[in-house]
Structure 1
Amino acid sequence: MAKPHRAIVNECCLVIRHLKLDNLDHEKAEAIGQAIDQITGIDMVSLNDDRSILNVAYDAGKVNIEDIEAVVREHGADIAQGWWTRFKESWYRFSDSNVRENKERTPWSCH
């Protein structure tokens, strides 16, 4: 049985992101997780301390990757600078933007 989404999350705009973090310890991970969980539009957040991976699901019509990254940096951690993480970050920005734009458009059909 699937876990129900939070009431504030529009399922059609739901995205799941995975980011590798640098300079992360257990205390920072706890603080980051709690702060991100308080953002309106967040559906789920978890951190893997051992691998320094942030997993977050959110409504991209309300939240974007920059909001998440800002919270990470506020708590003294940072996004890893490896090429794969930078590539994913760029793709996440692009797809978040597409979700927001498509959410505002009215669908049409010629049939």
Structure 2
Amino acid sequence: MSKAHKATNQEQFLLRRKLAVEGLGENQWEGLIHDLSHHPCVDFAERESNGTLKVTYDGTHWSVDELLELIKAYGGRIKTGWWTRCKLAWYRFTDDNVRANAKHEPFCCSKIPPMKK
């Protein structure tokens, strides 16, 4: 069964992120999930039993770097390693790509493309 999205989020720009988080106590996890769930750009947030954070957010208004800052504000950190660095690089790339696609104004292929000023 699919979850209903928040009315403010555009479904085509939603990005799913899965991050392994360390250093958070039970109360800190609850506060983090509560803040993420009530954030206007976040569509869905949950904690898995193995300490993994699953978040779905609107990529046009929020980024993985802002998510990392929020985790750091609660005293947590992302697990280090080669795979985590690769995932973060890919997440940043797709964040930028979604923002660029949201701003793009399509034009008809039978017309001359708009000229840059």
Letter in 1 for 2:80: Q
Q: CA deviation at 1:32?
A: 0.9
TM-score if structure 1 supplies the norm length? 0.92
Are the counterparts in 2 of residues 17 and 55 from structure 1 also a CA contact under 8 Å? yes
Q: CA deviation at 1:3?
A: 1.9
Deviations 1:51-110 (A, max 9, x none): 110000011001110111111000011111121112111110110000001100112231
Query: In the TM superposition, what is the alpha-carbon distance from 1:36 to its structure 2 partner?
Result: 1.6
Q: Which amino acid aligns with 1:74?
A: A
The CA distance in 1 between the partners of 2:60 and 2:35, in whole Å, is 19
Query: Do the aligned residues in 1 keep the contact of 2:21 with 2:79 (CA within 8 Å)?
Result: yes
Q: Residue by residue, what CA displacement relative to the aligned partner does 1:21-49 show, whole Å, maximum 9, x if unpaired?
A: 1112211111111112222211000012x
Q: Measure, in 1, the Cα distance between the counterparts of 2:108 and 2:80.
A: 43
- Larger CA deviation: 71-80 vs 31-40: 31-40
TM-score by length of 2: 0.87
Q: What is the match of residue 44 of structure 1?
A: 44
| Match of residue 102 from structure 1 | 101
Which residue is 1:66 aligned to? Answer: 65
Mind listing any 5+ residue stretches in structure 2 that lack a counterpart? 111-117
The answer to whether 1:17 aligns with 2:17 is yes
* CA distance in structure 1 between the partners assigned to 2:58 and 2:2 by the alignment: 17
Q: Unaligned stretches of 5+ in structure 1?
A: none
Tell me the residue number matched to 1:88.
87
Check whether the contact 1:35–1:71 (CA below 8 A) recurs between aligned residues. Answer: no
Identity %: 31
Per the alignment, in what secondary structure is the counterpart of residue 88 of structure 2? helix
Pair member with larger Rg: 2
Task: Tell me the distance in 1 between the aligned counterparts of 2:20 and 2:26.
Answer: 15
- How many angstroms apart in 1 are the aligned matches of 2:9 and 2:102? 13
